[in-house]
Structure 1
Amino acid sequence: MLSHSCVPPFLPVGLSQTAERNTKVRASKLLAIWGFLLSASRPVGVTEMLILGESLNLTSPQSVYLYLRAMTEMGVVRAYPATEGTHRKLYSGVFPPTLTELDRQMLAHWIDSAVCESCVGQVRARFLGNCPIEQADHRHLPLLPAGTRETIRRIDRLHEPKVRQIWGELISSEDSFSLAQVLRICADTEEVLSSQTIGHYVRAMRGVGLIQVAKYARGIGKIYQGRFPPHTGRADIAALALWLRSLPLERARVVRYRAAAHVNLPSLRSVEAMTAGDVGSHGGQEAKV
């Protein structure tokens, strides 16, 4: 739990008017909660947020929920199911997709000049990726292609960072994975998953083209590999730049190979640029592809 948060200096254009129309919430408290969730290393629950709420005179779960509902509708908070089969939710701060160019310039200046050292990694990752970072170790997770991301968000009982975690492992590995091996990929997260839940993730990810069946192994069942959805475009590939530079060179090469199998040539050139010529990328090696 963070001992503090870095509070954004303003609500994005349009959202401030929405906040003003909601007479049950105050913009100053919205900003404080938003900053807290943007700075958190993982999605947090209402119980944890009550500690922050005490300083804002929000002393009951109901008062915190009132703000979380308003902020979810505004697009600055995203809610996730805490565990399978329960109604308890976890919350994470996001930057809304409706940011104007002026919003982005002002927020980028705030992040670079005012956010403290302990918070800036989380806030900048969310700002660049427009999505929450699940892992406390700040490792990068690949951004899903835009069309796929919107579909995934409409499917019940899917936690988007977990989808990104599974896809990142499968798309960057030469190996194929059984259902049990996919389950082990998620073993380092707080949410305990069952084989039934992982089956739900795998079926959904197959449905949107993020993974495919590589073969059928006797006594094991279907074996899966990562892939790029057919509709992946140049902007989707460009959005993977930070993640690709965080990978070991061999894994980055696997991503490039899989992109070649499913993505048009102009997009593939973007992958080549991301995995070549950067001194200090890929664990300090110079990538020559």
Structure 2
Amino acid sequence: MLFPTVALIGRHNDAGIAGHLLALAGQLSDAGREVLFEAETAANTGVTAYPTATAAQIGARASLAIVIGGDGTMLGAARRLARFNVPLVGINHGRVGFVTDIRLSAAADAIRQVLEGRYESDERILLAGTVRRGEDVLYEAEAFNDVVLSRAGRGGMIEMHVSVNGASMATMRADGLVIATPTGSTAYALSANGPILHPGVHGLVLVPVAPQALSNRPIVLPSDCEIEITLVSTGRVEAGASAHFDMQTWSQLTDDDRIVVRRAAHTIRLLHPLGYSYYATLRQKLNWNRMPSQGDSDGEDAASGCPA
């Protein structure tokens, strides 16, 4: 039997999600699978009909984890479970859904396909980052999307020096700097005019945020490099700067602090129903134009009358 033990993880405090989780749990039980509810999910939804497990217990016992929520829920689950090599399936109960790519209305059929072994998979990389002050490590965390260095809300631009594998690359003044995985290239990095990296590309994208010099442009780097950012100046002394590892923040950066980022040792395996297309996801989520099909007139969508 494929995936004999399946863990369910849901977005916390999301109205109506308990019913979807219970329906999915019933489907899995009917298919002969043992069901575990992630402990915080159970506590926040009031579900008591199934055994609960911490992330470490899920890593030890589960052969598959299904996440219902938005991309933020998937980011957190992926970071906690990546070291255990538990594959993940994402069902979208949020707004965007780049990595929670299965529509809620199609979830039952998609999960049935996965349980039958009819799925596609892809490996996604993680980032491992540390905040260092002299010889001391002040903070360390992993990120599925990106590591972001940013100025304080009311502070001025920050000045930073960037080196790659010990070689000096640039000194710049900007509101911040984004280091993103291919998965994260469609998140903050994209809004800062960075390129989209296909998940199959072994690269990282480095994107300045509102740089003072327009010649400071995004660059794609090999995924096996080490990037070190040294804070030269954090603007006004009382303002400071922050480092963000996905949704995890270290907000006590001062001049001469260093943020060191490299690819993490483990990866994340995402499962999709057969027919999954990354390009279809981009078209849908980014509203990319399509060529008019036969029967459309003058590039307009026949159903809506709007430009295609």
| Alignment TM-score, normalising by the size of structure 2 | 0.29
Higher strand share: 2
Of structures 1 and 2, the one scoring higher in RCO (CA 8 A, sep 6+) is 2
| Alignment TM-score, normalising by the size of structure 1 | 0.31
Higher helix share: 1
Larger Cα-atom Rg: 2
